[in-house]
């Protein structure tokens, strides 16, 4: 058990230190909150007393408006797998810009990117979007069109963007009729999913689709248990329900072909965004030929002025073909494993009640004694005060990390052993500070 008073004392000290180091962010926040609700562009960026405003980034590093330098392990919610200001992407964007950025007409790059995505994910047809939200929205519409049904099954606690269907229970402003169509079930429990689908079927509400991440990435990192994804695939196939793997976070980051490649289970639809566009807003929906026909014949309309826009496609092409090749994935695996092994050593050395979870470039330290397998076990164990301390501690020691979350990391291809070792060093200092009092009293 960690000492609560110690966690609070340390947080107070670290919070004061961060305030002291970020007066420029404080000043910008005072201006920003007059025009941006909460002073930010997305509610994920909200923070009190003020958010940390960034100024620039290069490779694995970012700098805030006060000139503080950080290794970036937040990586734009894992979008910046290729690192900041990657020269290959910069060159592709500059070349495209000089030849015109937007026509709302297709270009060759859109074809090349789709060919590469089809090869990686084993799904033959692709359409583009500008975000993960648009990708999951289009994916659900496709499933509803194919099945002629409306209901949606999702995983309890999972995040799939901010359109109404996937925000049920998370925001005001969602129509009750939409809320009635969405049903949640715990991750890693195929029998519970089967029971839920059976109940819905009995009520004449068989779902159109199951939308899920193959590994939960918004509650630390929760891996699928042996056989779970295969069981969900069998169940959905048997029942004529479309299986959507939301790979907005896992696609491209945990393997060249995302969760489909890593876990060897092929869904009917894959949704991508984040790391696809090399730092530009870009998303994609991969689908079976059968689903593709609904788009071809015009019965499902997937619109978007900027879908497949030339600038985004040029960046995605360079990203996929020049940056994220086999060597990049070897590097991500190696760095991820080094980081995780370093954290494991720290945990063992200090007897910290925690464990690590890793998957390619992503990973987390999960605190607590109980193994996390789904949202309920995460909630039982999630320690908000400790998460806040971890964030403050890392930010004050040159690690830019995701706020309001578990202790996570996202490494990218420009991260180095130095960056990873710094992460471990900072964690070791925290572990020592957290266990000092209890080990001191044990010795007394
Ligand atoms: N799906 C998943 C799994 C996500 O993590 C996110 C964003 O964090 C989204 C969808 C939504 O993506 P976007 O923020 O690009 O709309």
Strands 269-272 and 354-359: unpaired
Tokens representing 222 are: 């929760």
Question: What is the chain's alpha carbon radius of gyration, rounded to the nearest angstrom?
Answer: 22
Tokens representing 94 are: 């500059």
> Cα dist. 413→60, 169, 209, 333 in Å?
8, 36, 35, 10
Q: Judge if the beta carbon of residue 273 lies within 6 A of ligand 1.
A: yes
- pLDDT at position 403 is 85
- pLDDT at position 437 is 53
pLDDT in tens, 321-346: 999 999 999 999 999 999 999 999 99
Query: What atom of ligand 1 comes closest to residue 133's alpha carbon?
Result: 16
Residue 126 and residue 97 in contact, taking contact as beta carbons nearer than 8 Å: no
**Minimum CA distance residue for ligand 1 atom 9:** 161
Query: What atom of ligand 1 comes closest to residue 273's alpha carbon?
Result: 15
Q: Is the pLDDT of residue 1 over 90?
A: no
Mean pLDDT rounded to a whole number for the chain = 96
The Å distance, Cα 98 to ligand 1 centre, comes to 31
The mean pLDDT of 64-77, rounded to a whole number, is: 97
To test the ligand 1 pocket, which listed residue (79, 164, 249, 280) has its Cβ within 8 A of the most ligand atoms?
249
The mean pLDDT of 279-286, rounded to a whole number, is: 97
To test the ligand 1 pocket, which listed residue (77, 219, 248, 279) has its Cβ within 8 A of the most ligand atoms?
248
Q: Judge if the beta carbon of residue 285 lies within 6 A of ligand 1.
A: no
The mean pLDDT of 346-354, rounded to a whole number, is: 96
The mean pLDDT of 130-142, rounded to a whole number, is: 98
What share of the chain in percent tops pLDDT 90?
95
What share of the chain in percent tops pLDDT 70?
98
Tokens representing 20 are: 């002291």
Q: Is the pLDDT of residue 439 over 90?
A: no
Q: Judge if the beta carbon of residue 248 lies within 6 A of ligand 1.
A: yes
Contacts for 261 with CB less than 8 Å, ≥ 6 apart: 120, 121, 255
Q: Provide the b/e sequence for 271-296 (b: ≥16 CB within 10 Å).
A: bbbbbbbbbbbbbbbbbbeebbebbe
Candidates 400, 394, 129, 77; CA nearest to 286 is 129
Q: Which DSSP category does 309 fall into?
A: -
Q: Judge if the beta carbon of residue 78 lies within 6 A of ligand 1.
A: no
- pLDDT at position 405 is 80
304 burial class (0-12, 13-18, 19+ CB within 10 angstroms)? middle
Query: What atom of ligand 1 comes closest to residue 161's alpha carbon?
Result: 11
Query: What atom of ligand 1 comes closest to residue 218's alpha carbon?
Result: 5
User: CA-to-CA distance for 258 and 397, rounded, in angstroms?
Assistant: 32
Contacts for 256 with CB less than 8 Å, ≥ 6 apart: 120, 324, 326, 329
Q: Would you put residue 403 in left (φ > 0), alpha (ψ -120 to 50) or beta?
A: beta
Helices 310-318, 87-98: crossing angle, 10 deg rounding: 150
pLDDT in tens, 113-130: 999 999 999 999 999 999
User: CA-to-CA distance for 10 and 339, rounded, in angstroms?
Assistant: 24
The Å distance, Cα 159 to ligand 1 centre, comes to 7
- pLDDT at position 443 is 35
Q: Judge if the beta carbon of residue 132 lies within 6 A of ligand 1.
A: yes
Q: Provide the b/e sequence for 231-249 (b: ≥16 CB within 10 Å).
A: bbbebbeebebbbbbbbbb
Q: What is the pTM of this model?
A: 0.96
Q: Judge if the beta carbon of residue 247 lies within 6 A of ligand 1.
A: no
- pLDDT at position 269 is 98
Q: Is the pLDDT of residue 441 over 90?
A: no
- pLDDT at position 67 is 98
Q: Judge if the beta carbon of residue 160 lies within 6 A of ligand 1.
A: yes
Q: Is the pLDDT of residue 257 over 80?
A: yes
The Å distance, Cα 6 to ligand 1 centre, comes to 35
Residue 81 and residue 412 in contact, taking contact as beta carbons nearer than 8 Å: yes
pLDDT in tens, 153-169: 999 999 999 999 999 99
Query: What atom of ligand 1 comes closest to residue 44's alpha carbon?
Result: 8
298 burial class (0-12, 13-18, 19+ CB within 10 angstroms)? exposed
Candidates 105, 160, 157, 89; CA nearest to 131 is 160
- pLDDT at position 406 is 80
The Å distance, Cα 272 to ligand 1 centre, comes to 9
Q: Judge if the beta carbon of residue 308 lies within 6 A of ligand 1.
A: no
Q: Which H or E run includes 314? A: helix 310-318
- pLDDT at position 196 is 98
The Å distance, Cα 160 to ligand 1 centre, comes to 5
Q: Which DSSP category does 191 fall into?
A: H
Residue 323 and residue 86 in contact, taking contact as beta carbons nearer than 8 Å: yes
Query: What atom of ligand 1 comes closest to residue 247's alpha carbon?
Result: 3
Q: Judge if the beta carbon of residue 39 lies within 6 A of ligand 1.
A: no
Q: Judge if the beta carbon of residue 154 lies within 6 A of ligand 1.
A: no
- pLDDT at position 243 is 98
Alpha helices in 22-156 (DSSP H): 23-35, 75-78, 87-98, 108-121, 132-147
Longest CA–CA span in the chain (Å) reads: 77
Tokens representing 189 are: 């429990």
User: CA-to-CA distance for 362 and 434, rounded, in angstroms?
Assistant: 24
User: CA-to-CA distance for 344 and 19, rounded, in angstroms?
Assistant: 31
- pLDDT at position 436 is 83
Q: Quickly tell me which residue has 């266990």 as its tokens.
A: 435
pLDDT in tens, 205-237: 999 999 999 999 999 999 999 999 999 999 999
Candidates 20, 8, 86; CA nearest to 50 is 20
């Amino acid at each position: 058990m960690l000492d609560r008073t110690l966690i609070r004392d340390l947080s107070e000290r670290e919070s004061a230190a961060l305030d002291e180091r970020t007066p420029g962010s404080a000043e910008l926040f005072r201006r920003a909150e007059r025009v941006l609700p909460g002073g930010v562009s997305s509610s994920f960026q909200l923070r009190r007393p003020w958010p940390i405003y960034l100024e620039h980034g290069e490779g694995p590093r970012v700098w805030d408006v006060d000139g503080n330098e950080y290794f970036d392990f937040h990586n734009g919610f894992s979008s910046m797998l290729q690192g900041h200001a990657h020269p290959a992407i910069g060159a592709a964007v500059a070349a495209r810009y000089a030849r015109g950025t937007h026509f709302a007409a297709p270009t060759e790059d859109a074809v090349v990117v789709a060919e590469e995505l089809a090869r990686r994910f084993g799904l033959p047809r692709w359409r583009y979007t500008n975000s993960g939200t648009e990708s999951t929205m289009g994916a659900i519409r496709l499933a509803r069109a194919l099945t002629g049904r409306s209901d949606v099954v999702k995983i309890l606690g999972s995040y799939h963007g901010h359109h109404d269907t996937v925000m049920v229970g998370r925001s005001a402003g969602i129509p009750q009729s939409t809320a009635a169509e969405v049903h949640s079930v715990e991750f890693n429990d195929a029998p519970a999913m089967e029971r839920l689908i059976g109940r819905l079927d009995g009520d004449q509400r068989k779902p159109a689709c199951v939308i899920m991440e193959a590994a939960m990435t918004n509650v630390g990192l929760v891996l699928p248990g042996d056989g779970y994804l295969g069981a969900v695939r069998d169940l959905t196939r048997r029942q004529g329900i479309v299986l959507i793997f939301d790979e907005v976070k896992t696609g491209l980051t945990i393997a060249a072909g995302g969760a489909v490649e890593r876990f060897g289970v092929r869904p009917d639809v894959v949704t991508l965004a984040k790391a696809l566009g090399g730092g530009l807003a870009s998303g994609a929906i991969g689908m079976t030929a059968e689903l593709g026909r609904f788009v071809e014949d015009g019965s499902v309309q997937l619109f978007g002025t900027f879908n497949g826009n030339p600038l985004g496609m040029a960046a995605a092409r360079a990203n996929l073909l020049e940056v994220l090749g086999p060597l990049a994935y070897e590097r991500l695996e190696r760095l991820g494993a080094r980081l995780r092994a370093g954290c494991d050593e720290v945990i063992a050395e200090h007897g910290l009640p925690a464990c690590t979870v890793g998957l390619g470039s992503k990973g987390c330290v999960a605190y607590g004694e109980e193994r996390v397998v789904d949202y309920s076990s995460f909630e039982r164990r999630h320690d908000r005060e400790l998460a806040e301390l971890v964030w403050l501690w890392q930010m004050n020691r040159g690690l830019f990390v995701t706020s309001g979350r578990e202790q996570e990391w996202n490494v990218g291809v420009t991260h180095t052993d130095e960056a990873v070792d710094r992460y471990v060093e900072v964690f070791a200092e925290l572990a020592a500070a957290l266990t000092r009092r209890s080990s001191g009293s044990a010795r007394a």
